Amino acid sequence: MRSILRINTDTGVMIHDGQSRFSINGKPICHLVGTSTFSEYSVIHVGCVAKIRPLGPLDKFCPHLWNLYWYRRRKQSWGVAVLVGLPHKEAAFMTPYELVEWKDLKGTFFGNCKPHSGLPSAVEKCMNKELELEKFITHKFPFAEINKAFDLMLKEEGLPCICRS
């Protein structure tokens, strides 16, 4: 993944020059898995981009890529690692690459989705009424209240929340 995306996912910078593309008050802001999804504008490597239908309901798809909880199984330097979503709020966050090094990976950051084919396919299914995501969305917040969405996620109270600007 690192060589394909040209990002250092451990530190949040681009691999070829070791720099972030964002800063605030002179301090760098690191990329989240190479996408910087909470930015108004972004510099993204082509490996982090998937084309979908222009009318596809992004508010129904994007939360499903990150709003899950982590479950992991780890064995020495071999075996199987099972990763789904994020750790519990009281758990120490570990870089996923440390968990999966030299292991078979079951699940991924994005729920075993291949973004270039899986996301456009899921949008098509939703637009064709073959996939009903609306029933899984329990809360909607303006983007200014994103912390409320994270609070619900950390309390495990509800399914994915949608934040809009």
DSSP H helical segments within 17-160, as ranges? 58-61, 63-66, 96-100, 115-127, 146-155
Return the residue matching tokens 């008050």: 25
Return the residue matching tokens 């120490």: 92
Final residue in a domain of this structure, among 33, 49, 65:
49
Burial environment of residue 57 by CB neighbours within 10 A (0 to 12, 13 to 18, 19 or more): middle
Question: Do residues 3 and 59 both lie within one domain?
Answer: no
pLDDT digits (tens, 9 = 90+) for 110-146: 556 677 788 788 888 888 989 888 887 888 888 888 8
Question: Do residues 78 and 143 both lie within one domain?
Answer: yes
| Confidence at residue 89, expressed as pLDDT on a 0 to 100 scale | 61
Question: Do residues 100 and 44 both lie within one domain?
Answer: no
Question: Do residues 127 and 114 both lie within one domain?
Answer: yes
CA distance 64 to 130: 17
| Confidence at residue 128, expressed as pLDDT on a 0 to 100 scale | 92
β 27-29/22-24 pair status: antiparallel
> 126 lies in which domain range?
50-164
Question: Do residues 72 and 149 both lie within one domain?
Answer: yes
What is the full per-residue pLDDT of the chain (165 aa) written as tens digits? 445 544 455 667 776 777 887 788 988 887 766 666 666 677 776 766 777 788 877 776 665 444 443 333 434 446 676 655 656 666 665 555 655 566 665 655 555 667 778 878 888 888 898 988 888 788 888 888 888 888 887 787 766 777 776
| Confidence at residue 122, expressed as pLDDT on a 0 to 100 scale | 83
- As a residue count, the chain comes to 165
Please count the structural domains in the chain: 2
Phi-psi region of 6 (alpha: psi -120 to 50; beta: other; left: phi over 0): left
Question: Do residues 106 and 132 both lie within one domain?
Answer: yes
Question: Do residues 93 and 131 both lie within one domain?
Answer: yes
CA distance 62 to 56: 11
Question: Do residues 79 and 37 both lie within one domain?
Answer: no
Query: Reduced to 3 states, what is the DSSP secondary structure of residue 106?
Result: strand
